[in-house]
Amino acid sequence: MVHVAIDDLPLIWSQFINFQKQLLRALQGSGPATGDAASAATDGTLATAAMAPAVLGTPGLVQQLILGHLTLLDKLRLRATCSALRHASPAWFAQATVVVKLTGAAGAALATWLRQHSGKLTFLELPMYCGFAATGDVASLWQLTALRRLRLGYWRCDGSWRGMAALRQLQHLELYLDRRGMIMHNGRRPYQDLSASLSALTCLTFLKLELETSDNVSPPLPAGDAVCYQHLQPLGRLQRLRLVNTGGGADVAAALPSLTALTHLHCTAPPGAAPVDWQHLGWAAELQELTLDHCYIRRLPGALSSLAALTSLRIINDNLSGLEPLSALHQLQELELIRCRLAAVPDQLSALTALTWLSLGYNRSLVGGGWEHLLPLTRLRTLRLEDVPLPAGVHPEVVEKLPAAERVQLLAAAARAGAATAVF
């Protein structure tokens, strides 16, 4: 807070106006000049440069007024051209985003830069497969204790991932793990201790851990490295959780009573996971979006019907036979039942009158009819039926009777039935 006497305001305001005019003229340029005009302009620029450290380097009302009228680009130009201001200028930027393009030999330089700014960085995003990642120097990030957001793409840590527990202010964490780096390195598993460090990050509201899988035979994380329920239980502030091949559905389901703030949940279980009882879903009363992929559900849990805030539901790669809880989700707007081995269109769909998006793709056994259950869906705008046996499995009149049919996309990539994509 700056305190200024009333009698001083006219003088301060006059200084501010004069200095701002000279400063902007110096930063932006005033066009070509010749003779005396050029000499005067040069003298004015030099005078402005001489004043800059005294005025902008000293906290006060004049400094606040001037900086408040400068654009971010002007501030960066001024800092770059006036070396006397470089120590004072960091205070001008409440938050800055730095984009660094790394070369293969930039790892050591970046590590040094990070150490110099360890108390200031709040947001750091490092891309996949950069030179710094290849050195295994990710452990040097644990000194960045002011971080609130961290995103790492396919990194290796030669040290211990347990050091990540020092980032206690972290609110947003995204880690993309590389299945090609699953081999032992220096006698250690590449993601050893990673999951154990999560339980200390109690400020997290967003957590995404994805193990890259380009096929269906990619090895899962070793049992000792996967995310377990005891790692998730302390994260009571989590609102968004996405685990892809990094934790089993059983562990996620067991942690749900502690994750009552969740609004978005995506769980892709690794190959070979055991069937899961998702009755604990009832604890996630705020859940708005739910995706369960390879979670071996078999029957939708009854607790699903109590999720009054749920507007998006995706069940993928399962063998569903019990869909009774669906009919209670009247507020559902998006529904995907993909690769669920459905034999017919579920009759529960007729109760979901708020649906605008429906996908029944890749249910290759869907030959038992039931398409009349789509008729009450008056708000439906997108219908996806990739690799569903068409046209024999869909009577054309049913699609034509769908309200606003001209805006319903029937995506039928049914190569076996010879059907083409149709847009109505």
- Per-residue pLDDT tens digits for 249-291: 889 999 999 999 999 999 998 877 777 888 899 999 999 999 9
Instruction: Determine the Cα–Cα distance for residues 68 and 219; give it in Å rounded to an integer.
Output: 55
In the DSSP assignment, the letter for residue 181 is G
**Mean pLDDT to the nearest integer, 124-145:** 66
**Mean pLDDT to the nearest integer, 319-326:** 88
Extract the tokens encoding 271: 């190959």
Nearest residue to 342 (alpha-carbon basis) of 305, 308, 373, 311: 373
- C-alpha distances (whole Å) from 199 to each of 163, 165, 254, 268, 416 are 12, 8, 15, 20, 49
- Per-residue pLDDT tens digits for 15-65: 555 655 665 555 554 444 444 444 544 455 555 556 666 777 777 777 777
Please report, to the nearest 10 degrees, the dihedral formed by the alpha carbons of residues 344, 349, 351, 354 taken in order: -160
pLDDT of residue 276: 80
Instruction: Determine the Cα–Cα distance for residues 15 and 8; give it in Å rounded to an integer.
Output: 11
* Residue located via tokens 């964490």: 173
3-state secondary structure of 314: strand
Q: Is the peptide bond before 391 cis (omega within 30 degrees of 0)?
A: yes
Most confident of 61-75, 185-199, 304-318, 356-370: 304-318
- Per-residue pLDDT tens digits for 388-414: 876 555 555 666 666 655 555 565 544
pLDDT of residue 132: 47
Is the pLDDT at 358 greater than 60? The verdict is: yes
Residue ranges of alpha helices (H) inside 190-248 are 194-198, 229-232
Is the pLDDT at 363 greater than 50? The verdict is: yes
* Residue located via tokens 């005025």: 55
pLDDT of residue 6: 41
Q: What are phi and psi of 265, to 5 degrees?
A: -135, 125
Contact in structure between 311 and 290 (CB atoms under 8 Å) = no
Instruction: Determine the Cα–Cα distance for residues 267 and 297; give it in Å rounded to an integer.
Output: 12
In terms of pLDDT, which residue wins out, 72 or 150?
150
Domains of the chain, residue spans: 10-92, 107-310, 340-424
From 90-99, 295-304, 338-347, the region with the lowest mean pLDDT: 90-99
3-state secondary structure of 54: helix
Number of helices and strands in the chain (H, E): 10, 13
| Residue 128 pLDDT level (bands cut at 50, 70, 90) | low
Instruction: Determine the Cα–Cα distance for residues 321 and 340; give it in Å rounded to an integer.
Output: 9
pLDDT of residue 205: 97
Instruction: Determine the Cα–Cα distance for residues 65 and 68; give it in Å rounded to an integer.
Output: 5
* Residue located via tokens 């989590």: 238
pLDDT of residue 415: 38
Residue ranges of alpha helices (H) inside 57-134 are 61-68, 72-81, 107-116, 131-134
- Per-residue pLDDT tens digits for 240-255: 999 998 888 889 999 9
- Per-residue pLDDT tens digits for 154-201: 666 655 788 889 999 999 999 888 765 555 555 567 777 888 899 999
- Per-residue pLDDT tens digits for 60-115: 777 777 777 777 777 777 776 666 666 666 677 666 566 656 555 566 677 777 77
Share of the chain above pLDDT 90, in %: 30
Q: Which residues pair with 123 in a beta bridge?
A: 149
Contact in structure between 424 and 404 (CB atoms under 8 Å) = no
Q: Which residues pair with 312 in a beta bridge?
A: 289, 334
For 117-233, list the strands marked E by DSSP. Answer: 123-126, 149-153, 172-177, 206-211
User: Nearest 5°: CA angle at 349, between 346 and 355?
Assistant: 145
Instruction: Determine the Cα–Cα distance for residues 235 and 259; give it in Å rounded to an integer.
Output: 7
Q: Helix 9-28 and helix 35-56: axis angle, to 10°? A: 120
Rounded to two decimals, the pTM is: 0.74
Q: Which residues pair with 412 in a beta bridge?
A: none
The CATH number of the structural domain formed by 107-310 is 3.80.10.10
Q: pLDDT averaged over the chain? A: 76
Contact in structure between 136 and 157 (CB atoms under 8 Å) = yes
